[in-house]
Chain A
Amino acid sequence: MDKAKLELVRGTLDVLILKALVWGPLHGYAITSLIRRQSDEALLVEEGTLYPALWRLESKGLIEPEWGLSENNRKAKYYALTSKGRRHLKQETKTWEAYALAVGKVLGATQPPLPEVLS
């Protein structure tokens, strides 16, 4: 299958990570695979960007780490959303949707905008 590789728009990785954690704590590897599967293999998060992003979110207090054991009994660092992170996600999602809608409108336009009415 042809893997469409989409470059992540700057700043969106943070939201995606937060979203990935909505369903419960995950470790880094699980986050990449969740995003990959959720986007139908369209979004591939590189390790080189994922971990710094995670640590940044952690230091901002949006996510909270805890060490635990993985499915095959390995020591793994799990991240969970904090309530601050949850609020942040909600807000960012709104912003993102508004942005996507606006971009969609512009790109999907079939005719030039009506002349502005000056009052």
Chain B
Amino acid sequence: MKNVPMWRRYDRMLGPDAAADVDDELRFHLEAKVDDLVAQGWQPDDARKEAERQFGDFRAVQNVGERLGQRTDIRRRRRDYWDAFAQDFRYAMRTLRRDRGFAFVAVLILALGIGANVAVFSVVNTILLRPLPFRAPQNLAWLAGNNGVGGLSDWTYRVDAYEEFKRDNHSFQDMTAFVPYYSLSESKLMGRGEPQPVSFVWVAGNLFQALGVQPALGRLFTPEESVKGGRPAIVLSYAFWQRQFAANPAIVGQAVRLKNESVTVVGVLPPEFDFGAVFSPGSKFDYFRPIFMDDIRSWGHMLSVVGRLKPGVTVAQAQAEATILFPKLKGSEAPDWSTDVKTTITGLKDYVSGKLRHSLVMLWCAVGLILLIVCVNLSNLLLARAAARGKEFALRSALGAGRGRLTRQLLTESLILSSAGAVVGLGFAFAATSYLAHQGAIALPLISSLRVDGSALAWTLVITAIATILFGLAPGLAMSGSNLQSALKDAGPTTSQGKKHERLRTTLVVSEVALACVLLVGAGLLLRSFLRVLDVDLGFQPSHAAAIRIDYDDGGNRSRRGAVMQEILYRVKALPGIEAAGVSDMLPLDRNRSWDLMAKGKVYSKGENYDAFVYVVTPGYFDAMGMRLRAGRDFTWHDTPDSERAIVINETAAHREWPGQDPVGRLAQGIGDGDSRVVGVVANVRESSLEDASSPEVYVCTTQAEPEGAELVVRTSVPAEVLSSSVRSTLRALNPGQPATEFRPIQQIVDHAVSPRRFFVFFVSAFSALGLILASLGIYGVVSYSVTQQTQEIGIRMALGATKWRIRFDVIAKTMRLAATGIAAGAIASFFVARGIAALLFKTEPSDPGTFTATILLLAAVSLVSGYIPARRASNIDLMRALRGN
């Protein structure tokens, strides 16, 4: 074989071509044969024919060759690729092992970034993206009266309205309902040791069929069980079945005692059905019971309504029908129907999680920013490393490694780092999600089903890939494109290459500071809003107060109830450590119902709202809650079933019904039959949420109205838990049927109400803290590196008489220049970002100067510290060593 000539190098420049190779090879064979035959004395034409004859089927061989050739080619390419990868991998592992500190920090930072992203993605996925755990959930719709505004009594339906709309509409294939007044659904399970407090939901008999829930055991309700006179039946929630009945399947078909009646357990619901998670976040329900519609027909607004749209019918079409149909229904003229007629229909998913969309998107963006900061930070770390490895790369490239090959090498290193980060981060995310899923106190819907699932894993892959490219590519390109000659010559830090690197790193740090600034401002605004929310005047004092649900037997007799209550309160108040005690049927921020409150003699225009939240309380309740009486008096035990009905109203109610007048002594209507006299005015209590202004409230004495349950509220001078057992034994002594309920600190109810906000504030603050740390690391890295690079220069300056302070000042000034640029850019960006989250703020301006100033000062202070450490080092340089150089 002769030497290969130059042209061969370019012969297959556009990549291998198996077919052409085969053709060339076989043609050569024929030519060689012809040459031989001619040499043996054949005529050229005959020789060609003879050669072709001897060869046989040229095409067939050619086909075999092309097929084999292609296969070989693919295999070779694949092998080359993996060989190169394995080589890069081994090499990267070796270099990373040599630099363990770097590898550790890089993996940790990445793990935090990726872990936070996966955890937040899981939350977003659980609440926003994943469909509800029902059959064909996209067809489920939520109906809300009074256009969804107001309290429970406003957006629930009368039985008549529900039944008539259900019968006459053409949009829904099925409709169902449940009673969202969960206070009606307290019961106790008897006959199994101490009476167990249990909670349940009254549901329409077809609720589970309409939602498409199949029982795990047994069956659902039959139509006979859903109408008056039917056999009392319940279905258990899976968790309750496991907890209370030790997952014993034999319970199905058996009777259990609830309070004083015997009901049959007909089925157990599947574990994935969590009624509370969807319809009442933060609550758990033990069983479900069919409501007899006839029983509650005259009770007013009782039902929450869910419908299943017919296939192809949109929410908008259903809404259009409802708008027309509701006013036409029989009885719709009655004033009671005014809220039912104003029906708003939304997708069930929208109802469940729509309110959180904004917050979740904000959280998602925040965590995305964190990932960006992480990438920038790593880019920076890698650049610093790349600078130190300049010679190594120059050498490799001198030995023939192409630019692509070197970039690939660096990307492989990045990939190893980010994969390790992803694995550790997934661990973080798993821990975080399982922690959150078991926090029953967070009132976020569906949060109990939070987990890292398949789509979260896919998301991990996506962000890992993105991160790898983001932080690996810049240093990769910067490195592999470096000037070979200068790097090899080791011309030192004064070369243009070093300058270029430093410029790049400076840009990165500035953007990091800017990103951290945006995060900090966002977190600051949310935190300030949160503090403002906590600062709200609740109208009562949650500290040192606790509530316990009590059970009593009054036989439905009001005067008997008065006596029982008086006895209970008397005994409880006698306990040491109890300062005040009172009973209310409902607690603020917990549950509510509303009645009418109308000033006697006032004329109401059509559609004018005269609802008021109603609380049936005992004398002493205001004191126990720490509420403030503004005018008039509290109830006394002299307010009896026979005396004139006394009511206490809040300031908002006073303002609505008797504007500009003193309401005390005036008569009102709507609270039961006949007139009621206003005897007092209390300060507004936040009854629905901390963030919404108080609605009209009316308080009625327990002897003059029917309460729905009873919460004993005690104000204590010692921590409430200490008194829990003595209070309980007192109650037990009075009523052996008292269930073993726990003390609930009032603060806990308040915390529950702010838990969604707390949840978001906590995460955004944690992310911004992480961002701040990363940014300060970035500043430190860059400044520290440049000090190292300028050792000689600093030495010379010191030799020429520059003082330590001067050197220190220069380094710090450089740092602050960096920080100032970043802060300025970040502040401007924050200004716009803050506008985007304005809807999430409470009593805080998006451009809140306090937050902006605090953020800027904080960033400046952190930058100063990050710069001071290298500055100190710079001023303490050993002069002789510095001058001698590298």
A28 adjacent to B29 (CB under 8 Å)? yes
A29 adjacent to B56 (CB under 8 Å)? no
A18-53 interface code vs B (CB 8 A; 1 in, 0 out): 000000110111100100000000000011100110
A29 adjacent to B32 (CB under 8 Å)? yes
Cα A56 to Cα B64 in complex, Å, equals 10
B41 at the binding interface (Cβ < 8 Å):
no
A47 adjacent to B28 (CB under 8 Å)? no
B65 adjacent to A67 (CB under 8 Å)? no
**Contact A47 B56, CB 8 Å, known A55-B68, A56-B68, A77-B25:** yes
Cα A27 to Cα B21 in complex, Å, equals 13
A75 at the binding interface (Cβ < 8 Å):
yes
Contact of A51 among B4, B36, B64 (CB under 8 A): B64
B721 at the binding interface (Cβ < 8 Å):
no
> In chain B between 1 and 35, which residues have their CB closer than 8 angstroms to a CB of chain A?
1-2, 4-5, 8, 11, 21, 24-26, 28-29, 31-33, 35
User: Which residue on A lies nearest to B24, using beta carbons?
Assistant: A75
A72 adjacent to B35 (CB under 8 Å)? yes
**How close is B871's CB to chain A, nearest CB, in angstroms?**
61
A59 adjacent to B72 (CB under 8 Å)? yes
In this complex, the interface size class of chain B, counting residues with CB under 8 Å from chain A, is 20 to 34
Chain A residues within an 8 Å CB radius of B29: 27-29, 47, 51
User: Which residue on B lies nearest to A44, using beta carbons?
Assistant: B54
Contact of B4 among A58, A69, A77 (CB under 8 A): A69
Chain B residues within an 8 Å CB radius of A66: 1
A74 at the binding interface (Cβ < 8 Å):
yes
A67 adjacent to B8 (CB under 8 Å)? yes
**How close is A56's CB to chain B, nearest CB, in angstroms?**
7
Chain A residues within an 8 Å CB radius of B2: 68-69, 73
B137 at the binding interface (Cβ < 8 Å):
no
Chain A residues within an 8 Å CB radius of B4: 67-69
**How close is B39's CB to chain A, nearest CB, in angstroms?**
11
Chain B residues within an 8 Å CB radius of A46: 56
B5 adjacent to A69 (CB under 8 Å)? yes
Cα A113 to Cα B551 in complex, Å, equals 108
Chain B residues within an 8 Å CB radius of A72: 35
A29 adjacent to B33 (CB under 8 Å)? yes
B1 adjacent to A78 (CB under 8 Å)? yes
**How close is B29's CB to chain A, nearest CB, in angstroms?**
5
A52 adjacent to B65 (CB under 8 Å)? yes
B1 adjacent to A59 (CB under 8 Å)? no
User: Which residue on B lies nearest to A47, using beta carbons?
Assistant: B55
User: Which residue on B lies nearest to A32, using beta carbons?
Assistant: B29
Cα A72 to Cα B35 in complex, Å, equals 10
Chain B residues within an 8 Å CB radius of A28: 25, 28-29
A74 adjacent to B61 (CB under 8 Å)? no
B72 adjacent to A77 (CB under 8 Å)? no
B60 at the binding interface (Cβ < 8 Å):
yes
B57 at the binding interface (Cβ < 8 Å):
yes
**Contact A47 B54, CB 8 Å, known A55-B72, A56-B68, A69-B5:** yes
A68-88 interface code vs B (CB 8 A; 1 in, 0 out): 111011111110000000000
In this complex, the interface size class of chain A, counting residues with CB under 8 Å from chain B, is 20 to 34
A52 adjacent to B68 (CB under 8 Å)? yes
Cα A56 to Cα B75 in complex, Å, equals 13
B65 adjacent to A77 (CB under 8 Å)? no
A48 adjacent to B26 (CB under 8 Å)? no
Chain A residues within an 8 Å CB radius of B64: 51-52, 55
Chain A residues within an 8 Å CB radius of B32: 27, 29-30, 70, 74, 76
User: Which residue on B lies nearest to A67, using beta carbons?
Assistant: B8
Cα A69 to Cα B7 in complex, Å, equals 12
Cα A66 to Cα B72 in complex, Å, equals 14
**How close is B238's CB to chain A, nearest CB, in angstroms?**
59
**How close is B11's CB to chain A, nearest CB, in angstroms?**
7
Chain B residues within an 8 Å CB radius of A33: 36
B130 at the binding interface (Cβ < 8 Å):
no
Cα A69 to Cα B24 in complex, Å, equals 12
B65 adjacent to A51 (CB under 8 Å)? yes
Contact of B11 among A59, A67, A70, A76 (CB under 8 A): A67
Contact of B55 among A48, A68, A73 (CB under 8 A): A48
> In chain B between 803 and 838, which residues have their CB closer than 8 angstroms to a CB of chain A?
none
Q: Select the residue from A48, A55, A59 with max chain B CB neighbours within 10 A.
A: A55
B69 at the binding interface (Cβ < 8 Å):
yes
User: Which residue on A lies nearest to B55, using beta carbons?
Assistant: A47
**How close is A60's CB to chain B, nearest CB, in angstroms?**
10
Cα A75 to Cα B60 in complex, Å, equals 22
A51 adjacent to B8 (CB under 8 Å)? no
**How close is A112's CB to chain B, nearest CB, in angstroms?**
45
Contact of A48 among B8, B24, B56 (CB under 8 A): B56
Chain B residues within an 8 Å CB radius of A77: 21, 24-25, 28
B11 adjacent to A74 (CB under 8 Å)? no
B28 adjacent to A76 (CB under 8 Å)? yes
- 29 cross-chain CB contacts under 8 A: A27-B25, A27-B32, A28-B29, A29-B28, A29-B32, A29-B33, A47-B26, A47-B29, A47-B55, A48-B55, A48-B56, A48-B57, A48-B60, A51-B25, A51-B61, A51-B64, A51-B65, A52-B68, A55-B69, A55-B72, A59-B75, A66-B1, A69-B5, A70-B28, A70-B32, A75-B24, A76-B25, A76-B28, A77-B21
Residues in chain A within 8 A of chain B (CB atoms): 24-25, 27-30, 33, 46-48, 51-52, 55-56, 58-59, 66-70, 72-78
Extra pairs beyond A48-B61, A59-B72 (14, CB < 8 Å): A29-B29, A29-B32, A30-B32, A48-B55, A48-B56, A51-B65, A52-B61, A55-B68, A59-B75, A66-B1, A67-B8, A68-B2, A68-B4, A76-B32
